[in-house]
Amino acid sequence: MSTTTVTVTGMSCGHCATSVREEITEIPGVRAVDVDLASGTVTIDSDTVVETAAIRTAVEDAGYQLAS
C-alpha cells in the first residue's frame, strides 16, 4: 500500500472535489482519494506508488492544476 499527497490549485467547492476525486480514482491501482478543500490537498491511497505524471493528467482532465 502506498499513500501520496499532492496539492491541487483552483478547487473551491464540493463539485470541484468530486471532479478531482473521480478522475484520480480512474488511475489503475488507486484505492481511495481524499480531498481537503480547505488546504487543497489530495491524499491518494494505492496498491503501488502512483506516478506524478498520471496524477497531473487526471487533475488536468478534471480542469485543475497540481501546485508546483
Looking at residue 10, its amino acid is G
Tell me the per-residue pLDDT of 36-49, one tens digit each, with 9 for 90 and over.
999 999 999 999 99
Q: In the chain, what are the domains? A: 2-66 (3.30.70.100)
Considering the entire predicted model, what is its pTM? 0.93
Please, what is the average pLDDT of the chain? 96
16-30: average pLDDT: 97
